Structure 1
Amino acid sequence: MATKLISSGSTFEKEIGYSRAVVADNWILVSGTTGFDYSKMTISDDLSEQAEQCFKNIEAALQQAGSSMKEVVRVTYVFPEAEDFEKCWPVMRKYLGDVRPSAMMLTAGLSDPRMKIEIQVTAYRSTGA
C-alpha cells in the first residue's frame, strides 16, 4: 500500500509524533483537528470560530492530499461540553451539509483547556493518486 504523510506545519505534529493526515492508496485519514491557526499557533476563545478553523485546517490537509470536503465519507466530532454540539451545527452544515457523511459526536476532555472542539475526518479520493 502506498502512503503519503501530510503536515500542517503544526509544532504538535513533531512534538507528539503524528501527521495531520495520512494518504493510504485512495483513503485520506485526517487526524483529530482543533481550532488552532497553525500559521500563528493561536486559538480563538470563540467556539464557532474554532469550529470554522477546524474545517479550514481539514480542508487544507485534504487539498494537499488531492481531495476536498466533497469526498469526506466519515466525520467524528469531539466536544468537552455536550451542549456545544448544537451550537456548531451551522458551521458543520456549511462544510458538510451537502456531503452528508456518516457522523459521530463524542464528549471527552481535550488535551488543552482552550480547545472547545476537535474534528476527525476520513475521505475517499475517487480520482486516484
Structure 2
Amino acid sequence: MKVIHTDRAPAALGPYSQAYISNGFLFTSGQIGADPATGKAGATLAEQAEQVMKNLSALLEAAGTDFTRVVKTTCFLADMGDFAEFNEIYARYFTGKPARSCVAIKTLPKELLVEVELIAEV
C-alpha cells in the first residue's frame, strides 16, 4: 500500500489519510468543498461541489491517474434538494459515468453541503 498526499487538497481533519493506492486502485477519503490554501468553503452547493472536484482532481493527479479511470464514487449531500444542481457539476467531471451511490446525511463535517469519495484505477 502507498499513502497519497498532496497539499492541493485539504489535509485530513482526523486520524486518516487523504488517499491510498492498493492493488492498482486509488481509494480516496471523502473530499469536502474546502479550499486547501485557506481552509474555507464557499457558501453555496455549487461553490463547494466545484471545490470538491478540484480536490479530487489533485488526489487523482498525485496518484498518476484521472477522472476517466474512476470506477466508483460515493456522494454525500446535506440536502437531497441539491441533487439536480450537484448532478450538473458532477457530470462535467465524471464523463465516464462510474458506478455511484448518492445519499443525504444529517450533517457533514464543518456543516458543509457536499462530500465525495472515489475509487479509481491507477
Q: 2:20 is matched with which residue? A: 22
C-alpha separation between the residues in 2 aligned to 1:8 and 1:31? Answer: 13
- Unmatched 5+ stretches in structure 2: none
Q: Aligned with 2:30: secondary structure?
A: strand
Q: 2:103 is matched with which residue? A: 106
TM-score (norm 1): 0.87
Count of aligned residue pairs for this structure pair: 119
C-alpha separation between the residues in 1 aligned to 2:35 and 2:89? Answer: 17
Moved over 4 A (4+): none
C-alpha separation between the residues in 2 aligned to 1:51 and 1:4? Answer: 27
**Conserved 8 A contact 1:6-1:19:** yes
**Conserved 8 A contact 1:8-1:38:** no
Larger Rg over CA atoms: 1
Q: 1:36 is matched with which residue? A: 34
Percentage identity across aligned positions? 26
Q: 1:8 is matched with which residue? A: 6
**Conserved 8 A contact 2:6-2:62:** no
| RMSD of aligned Cα (Å) | 1.2
C-alpha separation between the residues in 1 aligned to 2:52 and 2:81? Answer: 18
Q: Aligned ranges for residues 11-90 of structure 1 at < 5 Å? A: 11=11, 13=12, 16-90=14-88
TM-score (norm 2): 0.91
C-alpha separation between the residues in 1 aligned to 2:120 and 2:67? Answer: 8
